[in-house]
Amino acid sequence: MHKSRLAGFIIDCRSDDLEAAARFWSEALGLALRPSAAPEDEQYRLLATADDQPHLEVQRVQHESRVHLDIEADDIEAEVARLEKLGARRVGPVRSWYVMEAPTGQRFCVVRPQRADFAARANRWNSG
């Protein structure tokens, strides 16, 4: 048995100026910027959403600008296998997460649990 659910959304911005991109989205959505928890995440800026809401981050990227979603899971490999059975394609692992592509073409990531209420509120799946 493993668990997963929608974790949040990443606003991928192809821009050299991450601060300006983050400031636009912060003001557009009326959400304050807050420091990233991880100092190695210099390409991310977090938008301050409430604890019970999907997380929202602005990311500096090299590819085209887009928005992608993250699925949080307590067993990345089991979740990737589950999604593959549903028709998603494995793109590959990155650091602690795994990039996938939906049958309809959108890229998305399977990430470790992000929010405190994950264990209580995530979906339960019988693996295998």
Per CB under 8 A, contacts with a copy of itself among 45-64 are: 52-54, 56, 64
The DSSP call for residue 74 is: S
- The three-state secondary structure class of 12 is strand
Instruction: Rule CB under 8 A: say whether 78 interacts with a copy of itself.
Output: no
Instruction: Rule CB under 8 A: say whether 127 interacts with a copy of itself.
Output: no
| Minimum gap (Å) between residue 93 Cβ and a copy of itself | 18
Instruction: Rule CB under 8 A: say whether 128 interacts with a copy of itself.
Output: no
**Signed CA dihedral, 84, 100, 55, 29: sign only:** negative
Structure token pair of residue 121: 């509120």
Structure token pair of residue 24: 């636009």
| Minimum gap (Å) between residue 53 Cβ and a copy of itself | 7
**CA-to-CA separations, 19 to 10, 36, 59, in angstroms, rounded:** 15, 13, 10
* Residue ranges that bind a copy of itself, judged by CB under 8 A: 4-6, 9, 11, 13-15, 20-21, 24-25, 27-31, 52-54, 56, 64-69, 71, 83, 86-88, 102-106, 122-123, 125
